[in-house]
Amino acid sequence: MSQKHERIRERVRELVADYLVRELPPSAGLVSVTRVELSKDGSTARVYYSVLPEEKAPELERFLNERKRELQRLVSSLRVRVVPKLEFVREEHPHGAL
């Protein structure tokens, strides 16, 4: 993967993680943006996240869906030719593993 793709992936991860720290209510649990995968053409960024306790996952999914446009607008601030469309994917952990 090119350095440019790597920089975009890292920047998207930072933008989303910083947004969640600022905007997510404490009642939503402990959330981590674990990684971002960028499609080859840069048009899609899959943002992987985890949440503990796992019972809070539906609340976080609602939050992300409600705020998707705002998050997309943040990503649009990147100076890139193709602004990636955000997709959120919850990473599920086997019980006891972290």
Per-residue pLDDT tens for 10-22? 999 999 999 999 9
Read off the pTM.
0.89
**Residue 2 pLDDT:** 87
How many folded domains does the chain comprise?
Answer: 1
- The CATH code of the domain that includes 63 is 3.30.300.20
Residue, of 88 and 2, whose pLDDT is higher: 88
pLDDT, tens digit (0-9, with 9 covering 90-100), for 25-36: 988 899 999 999
Tell me phi and psi for residue 59, to 5 degrees.
Answer: -65, -45
What is the Cβ-side half-sphere exposure of residue 33, based on CA atoms within 13 angstroms?
22
Domain that holds residue 69: 3-90
3-state helix, strand, coil in the chain (%, to 5): 45, 25, 30
Residue 97 lies in a domain: no
95 in a structural domain: no
pLDDT score recorded for residue 92: 79
